[in-house]
Structure 1
Amino acid sequence: MWPILMQFLRTNAPYITLPIAAVVGVIGYNLESLISDRYTPYNKAIEDQRVERQIDEEVLNDPTKVEKLKYKENVLGKNVPPSLQKN
Structure 2
Amino acid sequence: MWPVLINMLRVNAPYITLPFAAIIGVIGYNIERIISDRTTPFKNSVEEQRDERMLKNLENVDAKEMESLKEKKFVPRTIFEKNVSPSLQTKNT
> Normalising to structure 1: TM-score of the pair?
0.63
- Larger Rg belongs to: 2
Mapped to 2, the partners of 1:6 and 1:23 lie a distance apart of: 24
Runs of 4+ in structure 1 displaced over 2 angstroms? 60-64
Q: How does 1:39-50 map to 2 (within 5 A)?
A: 39-50=39-50
Unaligned runs of 5+ in 1: 71-87
- Unmatched runs of 5 consecutive residues or more in structure 2: 68-85, 88-93
Cα RMSD, aligned residues only: 2.4
Q: Which structure's residues are more often helix, by fraction?
A: 1
Identity of aligned residues (%): 52
- Write the mapping of 1:5-16 to structure 2, written as runs, cut at 5 A: 5-16=5-16
Inter-partner Cα distance in structure 2 for 1:63 and 1:57: 12
- How many equivalent residue pairs? 66
